[in-house]
């Protein structure tokens, strides 16, 4: 479900609710979320009585920044949250009905709760206490360029794509190259760049790389401004849907006219994922 703009919107909407709050109770209703039953005790031990000092983001990972009252772990530690396909992180009043498939609840000292619901249970919370054996998932360690961060430009992107023989769509989905792009935004970015999704990364000329380097942050930040994209499940930290779905130019529009040229939008499976593109605006074999 959530790609960078959705995760960033969740970050922006939960932080005001969490700033300075202390966790009074940790309720784990499905241990898989924290990595299995043998990790729950450690997870609860660290989070109970901890205070929120910040909420960050890297790619599609949310980073809960915490401080312990007893100074354990040097006082500071982090929890990584990945929503995967159907994860929802929301702040709620205790009296609010629980969403179906609520797996984890953090009760706060103001009486409210941070809740995690995830239908398909792919989402994961990872404790980074700094203790041995408590390390970040490899996917997090290997994250590539941050599209909305400093230093995201054509030379940096070109260097990451250098020597890669794969299809450009697969390259955009590879979190080790650029962090945060998923299936929706990959298609939207390629359409705006006029690049066929099956173009090989090695075929891309400097103009195409420059267009990608400019378009990636432009599309993602525009989507953040719209509160992300809700196709079905996604909601922000306040339970609201995102409006960028109304700005999508190709994703989910198979057979409908391209908004640029009027030709029917095509659908194909590329890199194992449903892919939408305009055969006229995104011709095969030209890398600009």
* Residue 166: CB minimum distance to DNA, A: 4
d(CA 122, CA 15): 23
Under rule CB under 7 A, which residues in 185-214 are in contact with DNA?
Answer: none
Q: Residue 74 interacts with DNA (CB under 7 A)? A: no
d(CA 279, CA 264): 8
Q: Whose structure tokens read 């790389």? A: 209
Out of 111, 272, 283, 286, the residue judged to bind DNA by CB under 7 A: 272
Q: Residue 263 interacts with DNA (CB under 7 A)? A: no
Under rule CB under 7 A, which residues in 154-173 are in contact with DNA?
Answer: 165-167, 170, 173
Name the catalytic one among 11, 39, 60, 253: 60
Task: CB nearer to DNA: give 147 or 242.
Answer: 242
Backbone region of residue 246 per phi and psi (left: phi > 0; alpha: psi in -120 to 50; beta: other values): alpha
Q: Residue 84 interacts with DNA (CB under 7 A)? A: yes
Q: What are phi and psi of 55, to 5 degrees?
A: -130, 115
Helix (H, G, I), strand (E, B) or coil at 10: helix
Task: CB nearer to DNA: give 165 or 262.
Answer: 165
For the record, the structure tokens of 177 come out as 């190259």
Out of 112, 274, 280, 288, the residue judged to bind DNA by CB under 7 A: 274
Q: Whose structure tokens read 């590329």? A: 270
Strand order in the sheet with 124-128: 51-58, 61-67, 76-82, 124-128
* Residue 104: CB minimum distance to DNA, A: 15
Q: Residue 13 interacts with DNA (CB under 7 A)? A: no
Length of the chain: 288
Q: Residue 106 interacts with DNA (CB under 7 A)? A: no
Q: What is the largest CA-CA distance in the chain?
A: 63
Binding mask 111-130 for DNA (x = CB under 7 A): --------xxxx--------
Residues tagged active-site: 2-3, 60, 273
């Amino acid at each position: 479900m959530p790609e960078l703009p959705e995760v960033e919107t969740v970050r922006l909407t939960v932080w005001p609710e969490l700033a300075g709050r202390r966790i009074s109770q940790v309720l784990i209703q499905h241990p898989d979320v924290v990595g299995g039953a043998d990790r729950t005790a450690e997870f609860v031990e660290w989070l109970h009585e901890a205070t929120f000092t910040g909420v960050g983001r890297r790619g599609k990972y949310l980073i809960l920044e915490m401080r312990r009252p007893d100074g354990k772990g040097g006082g500071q530690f982090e929890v990584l949250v990945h929503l995967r396909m159907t994860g929802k992180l929301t702040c709620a009043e205790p009296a609010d009905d629980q969403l179906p498939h609520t797996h984890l609840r953090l009760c706060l000292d103001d009486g409210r709760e941070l809740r995690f619901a995830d239908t398909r249970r792919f989402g994961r919370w990872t404790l980074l206490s700094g203790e041995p054996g408590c390390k970040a998932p490899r996917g997090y360690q290997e994250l590539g360029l941050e599209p909305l961060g400093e230093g995201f430009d054509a030379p940096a992107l070109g260097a990451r794509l250098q020597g890669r023989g794969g299809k450009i769509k697969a390259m955009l989905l590879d979190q080790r190259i650029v962090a945060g792009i998923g299936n929706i935004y990959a298609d939207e970015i390629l359409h705006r760049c006029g690049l066929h999704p099956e173009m090989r990364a090695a075929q891309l000329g400097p103009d195409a790389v420059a267009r990608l380097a400019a378009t990636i942050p432009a599309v993602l930040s525009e989507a953040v401004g719209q509160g992300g994209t809700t196709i079905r499940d996604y909601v922000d930290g306040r339970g609201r849907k995102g409006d960028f779905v109304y700005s999508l130019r190709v994703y989910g529009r198979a057979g409908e006219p391209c908004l640029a040229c009027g030709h029917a939008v095509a659908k194909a499976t590329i890199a194992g994922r449903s892919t939408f593109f305009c055969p006229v605006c995104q011709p095969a074999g030209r890398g600009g």
